């Protein structure tokens, strides 16, 4: 189909706008300093923040057990954490419901956001459903195959009360992506009965080979932290206004960054990505 001149002009204008946005975001990130746990924080308010961790699970139930184990094993002064898991009913082996019920018994405050079998491959639809109902101070969109350092959320809360307190952009942090061949082989040979809590989970994965470390600059969908107030005021509580078909699902990540007005990297304690295959959904990962 031949585009009209007006349509071509509109497309060119949007490309220019995107280039300007990327340039402004890069400039802001370059001029912004973040605080690590090696420095003394300013006086920290005593009130506890509420952080809602929004996860979408689609055939990653075993790795989800590792992630939730790392949340159960958080120490220090972590925020009040609500775990919101979106999934389709009766999927996975074990099913996502079985994993959720198990970790509720372990003490996690878990909400469920149900989507249909037709929607489950589209993370943007699930995140829209999750985000419209939150009342949390902060929202963290995270993948279901991440493992967090046991002091990760203690450190994060300190930063959210001090140097990150008034941040208006979407924040991202580096992830340690573990060697994919090793991880795939490990879970293929894993005879563990799931659901279960993996003891000392962060210590285990911290000893595995790291393939790469990245994410802070890109603010990838595996870790997108945003103020609940900003999410509602700038985005109307939606991650994206136009969720696309399943193969474009990660466009929801980019849409969030654009709708908020940019992105910025932050420094955190390590989080580890349990790398996986890229085969079809019939594979239990």
Query: pLDDT tens-digit profile of 123-144?
Result: 889 999 999 989 999 999 999 9
Report yes or no on 243 lying in a domain: yes
The pLDDT of residue 44: 64
SS3 2: coil
- Given pLDDT bands bounded at 50, 70 and 90, which one contains residue 6? low
Q: H/E element holding 100?
A: helix 96-105
Could you tell me what percent of the chain has a pLDDT over 70?
A: 79
- Given pLDDT bands bounded at 50, 70 and 90, which one contains residue 121? confident
pTM of the predicted structure, to 2 decimals = 0.82
Report yes or no on 133 lying in a domain: yes
CB environment 163-185: b (16+ within 10 A), e (fewer): bbeebebbbbbbbbbbeeeebbe
Instruction: Please write the tens of the pLDDT for every residue from 227-254.
Output: 999 999 999 999 988 776 554 555 788 8
What lies within 8 Å, CB to CB, of 42 at 6+ separation is 162, 163
CB atoms within 10 A of CB 23: 10
Among 256, 50, 74, 55, which residue's Cα sits nearest to residue 148? 74
Report yes or no on 19 lying in a domain: no
Q: How many domains does the chain have?
A: 1
- Inter-axis angle of helices 251-260 and 123-131, to 10 degrees? 40
The pLDDT of residue 232: 95
What lies within 8 Å, CB to CB, of 277 at 6+ separation is 180, 184, 283, 285
Report yes or no on 72 lying in a domain: yes
Q: What angle do CA 179, 70, 272 make, to 5 degrees?
A: 25
Strand partners, 50: 80
- Given pLDDT bands bounded at 50, 70 and 90, which one contains residue 281? very low
- Inter-axis angle of helices 251-260 and 228-235, to 10 degrees? 90
Q: Which residues constitute the domain of residue 65? A: 45-273
What lies within 8 Å, CB to CB, of 169 at 6+ separation is 25, 28, 257, 260, 261, 262, 263, 264
Pairing label, strands 223-227, 138-142: antiparallel
Residue 194, domain CATH: 3.90.550.10
């Amino acid at each position: 189909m031949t585009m009209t001149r007006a349509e071509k002009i509109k497309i060119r204008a949007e490309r220019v706008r995107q280039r300007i946005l990327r340039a402004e975001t890069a400039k802001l990130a370059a001029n912004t300093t973040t605080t690590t746990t090696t420095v003394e924080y300013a006086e920290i308010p005593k009130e506890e923040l509420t952080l809602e961790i929004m996860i979408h699970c689609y055939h990653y139930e075993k790795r989800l057990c590792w992630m939730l184990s790392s949340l159960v094993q958080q120490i220090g002064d972590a925020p009040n954490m609500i775990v919101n898991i979106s999934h389709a009913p009766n999927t996975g082996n074990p099913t996502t419901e079985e994993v959720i019920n198990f970790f509720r018994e372990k003490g996690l405050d878990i909400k469920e956001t149900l989507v249909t079998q037709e929607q489950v491959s589209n993370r943007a639809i699930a995140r829209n459903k999750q985000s419209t109902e939150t009342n949390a101070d902060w929202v963290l969109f995270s993948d279901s195959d991440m493992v967090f350092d046991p002091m990760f959320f203690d450190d994060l809360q300190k930063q959210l009360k001090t140097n990150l307190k008034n941040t208006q952009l979407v924040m991202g942090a580096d992830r340690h992506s573990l060697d994919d061949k090793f991880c795939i082989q490990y879970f293929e040979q894993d005879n563990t009965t799931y659901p279960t809590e993996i003891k000392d989970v962060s210590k285990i994965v911290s000893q595995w080979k790291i393939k790469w470390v990245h994410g802070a600059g890109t603010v990838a969908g595996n870790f997108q932290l945003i103020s609940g107030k900003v999410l509602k005021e700038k985005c109307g509580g939606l991650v994206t206004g136009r969720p696309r078909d399943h193969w474009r699902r990660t466009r929801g990540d980019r849409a969030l960054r654009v709708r908020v007005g940019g992105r910025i990297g932050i420094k955190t304690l390590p989080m580890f990505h349990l790398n996986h295959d890229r085969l079809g959904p019939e594979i239990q990962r």
